[in-house]
Structure 1
Amino acid sequence: MTHFKTLSTLLITALSLTVLPTTTAPVAQAATWHRGTPKALQGKWRLGSVTTAFVHLKVTKTRFYFYSFGPLYYLKNVRYRQVKPHTYQIRGYEYSHQKMTDTLNIRRQKPQSFQFKGIYPNDSWLDFNRR
């Protein structure tokens, strides 16, 4: 009788290990930084309904230019990572003012528009449309 109990316990254990799915939590992967800028963001952009002479962006494969009322804001050697679907962080060397690495946040709304979190910590989201 003890052999039967031992054999049935081993059989149930083996079946539960092979049949039941594993319950381990998936391992979180850190977002990867990619060289350049996303193709969806490359091109010339303007701020909402404001004329292009005042506020606009130019995004190339390796650079990010922000023209506004003040002096030019310019990132070179740009890298990006996707934080959420349609949300990116862009990091590059800020060449024009502080001469240091800076990170920007961009949310893609539609194919012809996106939102850019300004260059200062308390800035609001700015809506840009393709030029």
Structure 2
Amino acid sequence: MKKLGTSLIIAASLGVAFGVSNINTHASAATWHKGTPTVLRGKYRTAFKSVKPYYFRSYLHITTYKLQFWQNEYSHSKKYVSSANVFGINGKAKYRKLKAGLYEIRGNAYVDQTQTWYVKRYSHNRVRLTYTKSFAGQEYYQKY
């Protein structure tokens, strides 16, 4: 009986040791993925900002491989006047998730150089965009 108990304990400890050694560790945060995050894709815009005599509104479009943003100028009656140049990532985007809701997106810019942008997701329709990890003072973009 004592041999049976000892062999069961040895077998159980070997099973536990084998099972623990096969457990995968968590996914690395430094893993780069192709494209842009699916949860961020869509069209966003900021609220109107008044700078007399005009109003301004910024736009952000995130597609599978592009991150584009620009600013439009509107008259006092909020009729479209002009648009600024489009900036952002023009193609070959890749991203990695830094922490919950924070993504680093890197890719080719319109001026043929690599750019890095950080996007923080606050909800399914509210994000902030910046080129540094500090989001203080940045405007919120809302989905439309």
Partner of residue 87 from structure 2, selected from 63, 73, 77: 73
Please give the residue correspondences for 1:31-42 in structure 2 after superposition, counting only pairs within 5 Å: 31=29, 32-42=31-41
- The structure-2 alpha-carbon separation of the partners of 1:88 and 1:121, relative to structure 1 and needing over 3 Å to count, comes to closer
CA deviation vs aligned residue, 1:22-74 (integer Å, no higher than 9, x gap): xxxxx7864211101111111110013459x7310111001111112542103
Partner-residue secondary structure (3-state), 2:57: coil
TM-score normalized by the length of structure 2:
0.61
CA distance in 2, matches of 1:87, 1:120: 12
Could you tell me which amino acid in structure 2 is paired with residue 89 of structure 1? E
Q: What's 1:114 paired with?
A: 127
Q: What's 1:24 paired with?
A: none
Q: Where do 4+ consecutive residues of structure 1 move more than 6 Å?
A: 120-123
Q: What's 1:85 paired with?
A: 100
CA contact (8 A) 2:118 2:131 kept: no
CA distance in 1, matches of 2:40, 2:26: 27
Q: What's 2:114 paired with?
A: 101
- How big is the shift at 1:121? 8.8
Q: Which runs of 5+ in 1 are unaligned?
A: 1-18, 20-26
Identity of aligned residues (%): 25
Partner-residue secondary structure (3-state), 1:55: strand
Partner of residue 63 from structure 2, selected from 60, 63, 78: 60
Could you tell me which amino acid in structure 1 is paired with residue 96 of structure 2? R
Q: Which runs of 5+ in 2 are unaligned?
A: 1-15, 17-24, 51-55, 73-83
Q: What's 1:48 paired with?
A: 47
- The structure-2 alpha-carbon separation of the partners of 1:75 and 1:67, relative to structure 1 and needing over 3 Å to count, comes to same
Partner-residue secondary structure (3-state), 1:54: strand
The number of residue pairs the alignment matches comes to 125
